[in-house]
Structure 1
């Protein structure tokens, strides 16, 4: 016999208990990744697997929120986006803007997924003296990217509500935020001095930039081959 029928009220209470209770593992994982990321990441690597949400589940949640954010963006805000605020000095056709942006939105989740192994490989090379294997480096970026994706979901909704025309500029803040946060967590995980942090960060940035350029060229070629964009779209106005 069902003692408590499902209602909007008890469903909301269950969701609140699951996601927003301070003692909840999900909320604690998010908070600790901000306060003491090494406690979450290093503990998981060292075998403590029940204290926090595991990285795969956390990443799955982050991808779900990212998909929801893209849906809301495409459904309610596309007409408000101001591409000129981002590319005002570049002579590209509106079709190039629209096609490139739509392509990025469609494959946004795949981009985040690809970021994990790429960053893990680069990190493994940069920190090869720290005795972490490739899988353990992947755990670092599963947690770090999940944290940033969840954070950006909530920040993006605020930005879209307050100033949707400046959303493109806001989205650029993700890159410096990613860099600063990863410097922060890597410093805490590997106990880096300021000098070591600067050297490791420079090497990581160089390798990541080279990889990013290579991947960007590959994506552009794929977009040309599949007809998403045409060379004529990039001709001067």
Structure 2
């Protein structure tokens, strides 16, 4: 008889897995060889949960998302763990961008106005980078609410179930974008700024793809609801932009830039 090293359950000497906790019975001492085998099995084997979850979310998202909602919780990585992985990779992505993409200059810094505009951009970029994980989480309830409104005549999913849909979908996009960034930015293939123009459209397309599969709609039905979703999302984003501009103005973020513009205008009048 042997005992499970995870839960201390008594097992037969021939057991390979614990019949209580499911843990694998380890008989060999840890070596570099079996450590490498364990890492390979965990991250690169098609049969492992992580890789299977990632691939299936592209091929058959309903199998992962719908399965989790219907109660299948062992076949794929659960939604909270997958979203946590996305947040971790997003942090690594920001580190890579800050380390390798140092030239984030978008304004003419030879002028005082350009320097103020660039300083404002740097503040906003740092703020969004520092709180990216929080921003990612804040998006989800709004996405679920918009979807609930758009699909109001189809009662297949409640609000909580829609949260699961968008947690998986947002995590999948974040993981994919982070992996691409980690590869292409250090190699200087494309800047993250250029990638930014494609991220939102791709994200909306993927959300549409997931919702289409989860709800089982045809292309025409999904197109109509996607346009409504984009309209609502665009309106809300406009409100956020306005609120952000008001906050920036109230906090004095624009003051230096406005003063520089006034000084430049005054210098131009005196030159005439």
1:43-192 counterparts in 2 under 5 A?
Answer: 43-74=67-98, 76-83=99-106, 93-131=117-155, 132-163=157-188, 166-192=191-217
Q: Contact 1:83–1:168 at 8 Å: present in 2 too? A: no
Query: Which residue in the other structure is 1:87 paired with?
Result: none
- Aligned mate of 2:59, from 10, 31, 35: 35
Residue by residue, what CA displacement relative to the aligned partner does 1:41-90 show, whole Å, maximum 9, x if unpaired? 1111111111111111100010001011112222x224233536xxxxx9
Question: 2 CA distance for matches of 1:102 and 1:197?
Answer: 37
- TM-score of the superposed pair, with normalisation by structure 1: 0.86
Larger radius of gyration: 2
Change over 3 Å in CA distance of 1:103–1:44 after alignment to 2 = same
Q: Is the 8 A contact 1:55 1:143 kept in 2?
A: yes
Quote the offset at 1:225 in angstroms: 4.5
Tell me whether 117-126 or 171-180 shows the greater mean CA deviation. Answer: 171-180
Q: Using a 3 Å threshold, how does the CA distance of structure 1 residues 189 and 5 change in structure 2: closer, same or farther? A: closer
> Is the CA contact (8 Å cut-off) linking 1:119 and 1:141 kept in structure 2?
yes
1:188-207 → structure 2 map (5 Å cutoff): 188-207=213-232
Q: Say which SS state the counterpart of residue 129 (structure 1) adopts.
A: coil
Query: 2 CA distance for matches of 1:199 and 1:100?
Result: 35
Contact 1:82 1:165 in 2 (8 A): no
* Deviation per residue, 1:96-138 (Å, 9 max, x gap): 2211111111111111111111100111111122211100000
Query: Stretches of 4+ moved more than 3 A in 1?
Result: 9-13, 80-84, 219-227, 234-237
Specify the SS of the correspondent of 2:57.
helix
Structure 1 residues 112, 192: CA separation in 2 closer, same or farther (over 3 Å shift)? same
Query: Higher relative CO (CA 8 A, sep ≥ 6), structure 1 or 2?
Result: 1
Distance in 2 of aligned mates of 1:207 and 1:36: 27
Q: Indicate conservation of the 8 Å contact 2:46/2:52, yes or no.
A: yes
Question: How far did residue 204 of structure 1 move?
Answer: 0.5
Q: Secondary structure at the match of 1:21?
A: coil
Report the equivalent of 1:211.
Answer: 236
The structure in which a higher percent of residues are helix is: 1
1:77–1:164 Cα contact (<8 Å) kept? no
CA shift for structure 1 position 5: 3.9
Q: What secondary structure is seen at the aligned counterpart in 2 of 1:162? A: coil
The count of corresponding residues between Structure 1 and Structure 2 is 228
User: Is the 1:81–1:166 contact (alpha carbons within 8 Å) kept by the matching residues of 2?
Assistant: no
For residue 268 of structure 2, what is the aligned residue in structure 1? Answer: none
Ranges in structure 1 where 5+ consecutive residues have no aligned partner: 85-89
Residues 177-209 of structure 1: CA deviation (Å, up to 9, x unaligned): 101111211111112222211210111111111
Q: Any conservation in 2 of the 1:81–1:167 contact (CA below 8 Å)?
A: no
| Aligned-residue CA RMSD (Å) | 2.4
How far residue 147 of structure 1 moved from its aligned partner, in angstroms, is 0.6
